[in-house]
């Protein structure tokens, strides 16, 4: 996988040299190139922004400078070669980046992250490349505002790159994690010593009974998700829930209706 990141602060992306992503870069599993947007400016002051047309606070990044950069990285004249390219524009006004999207983007061969600063990048840039047949994703990493797209790009690059085969050593650790295929948060985990300060690990985990441990972990995952992320419960595939799952969910106010939908009706619990 090839990843290009365009930014006015290339040093911001230095952490991508560390840990698993850094190792994957060194080994050539993912190739990440960080570019300084100002390399594509043509004036003496290396200007990348201008005032917003229509008025308002702040500055907007210039479309002409961005297009010079993106034309070099995504050649619109070669649509065939750009079939597996995605331009990602991090922005708080984008759709939310999720684990499902991370899996989808991990299949692309070329990602170009366009990091905006100030009030963002002139809206015509995304529109222009979409018009050229390039997939452009404007993505938010959450409902809060950062100072620019650099940190958001790093978050997305880490989430995507670890799904590329060869980046994470043990692929099994990708299967059993929160936001994994089951759509549940991960059950709590423990290590030695089994007694520590005034607490012990749950007895069942010391039993050696694999089926009971698996059931306990699933119950914990269901309960944790019901309490912390009810929005995720609402999205569960009802046909993948066994009787015990339904019982646990019922204790948290969720019932399966006769037409097979999961609905939150806490009254059912108290009645
Ligand atoms: N840029 C500024 N805030 C952002 C956010 N929440 N997600 C993605 N990009 C951003």
- Answer whether residue 22 shows pLDDT above 70: yes
- Answer whether residue 176 shows pLDDT above 60: no
DSSP H helix total and E strand total for the chain: 10, 11
193: cis peptide before it, omega within 30°? yes
Q: How confident is the model at residue 173 (pLDDT cuts 50, 70, 90)?
A: confident
pLDDT digits (tens, 9 = 90+) for 143-169: 999 999 999 999 999 999 999 999 987
CB 145 near ligand 1, within 6 Å: yes
Residues 6+ apart with CB under 8 A from 229: 185
- The predicted pLDDT at position 134 comes to 96
Report angle CA 116, 35, 49 to the nearest 5 degrees.
35
CB 142 near ligand 1, within 6 Å: yes
Residue nearest to atom 2 of ligand 1 (CA): 146
Residue nearest to atom 4 of ligand 1 (CA): 92
pTM metric for this prediction? 0.93
CA of 120 to the centre of ligand 1 (A): 10
Cα–Cα distance for residue pair 22/103, rounded to 1 Å: 20
CA of 76 to the centre of ligand 1 (A): 27
CB 229 within 8 A of CB 185: yes
- The predicted pLDDT at position 270 comes to 54
CA of 154 to the centre of ligand 1 (A): 11
């Amino acid at each position: 996988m090839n990843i290009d990141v365009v930014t006015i602060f290339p040093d911001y992306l230095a952490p991508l040299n560390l840990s698993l992503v850094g190792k994957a870069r060194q080994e050539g599993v993912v190739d990440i190139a960080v570019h300084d947007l100002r390399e594509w400016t043509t004036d003496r002051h290396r200007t990348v922004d201008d005032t917003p047309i229509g008025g308002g606070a702040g500055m907007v990044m210039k479309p002409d400078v961005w297009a010079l950069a993106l034309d070099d990285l995504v050649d619109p004249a070669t649509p065939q070669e750009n079939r597996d390219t995605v331009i990602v524009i991090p922005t708080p006004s984008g759709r939310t980046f999720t684990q499902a999207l991370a899996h989808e983007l991990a299949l692309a061969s070329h990602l170009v992250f366009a990091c905006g600063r100030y009030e963002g990048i002139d809206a015509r840039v995304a529109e222009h490349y979409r018009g050229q047949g390039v997939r452009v994703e404007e993505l938010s990493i959450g409902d809060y505002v950062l100072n620019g797209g650099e940190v958001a790009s790093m978050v997305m690059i880490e989430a995507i790159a670890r799904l590329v085969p060869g980046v994470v050593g043990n692929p099994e650790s990708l299967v059993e994690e929160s936001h994994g295929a089951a759509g549940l948060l991960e059950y709590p985990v423990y290590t030695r010593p089994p007694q520590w300060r005034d607490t012990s690990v749950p007895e069942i985990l010391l039993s050696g009974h694999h089926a009971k441990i698996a059931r306990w972990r699933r119950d914990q995952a269901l309960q944790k998700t019901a309490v912390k992320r009810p929005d995720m419960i609402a999205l569960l595939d009802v046909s993948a829930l066994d009787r015990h799952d339904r019982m646990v969910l019922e204790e948290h106010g969720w019932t399966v209706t006769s037409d097979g939908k999961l609905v939150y009706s806490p009254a059912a619990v108290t009645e």
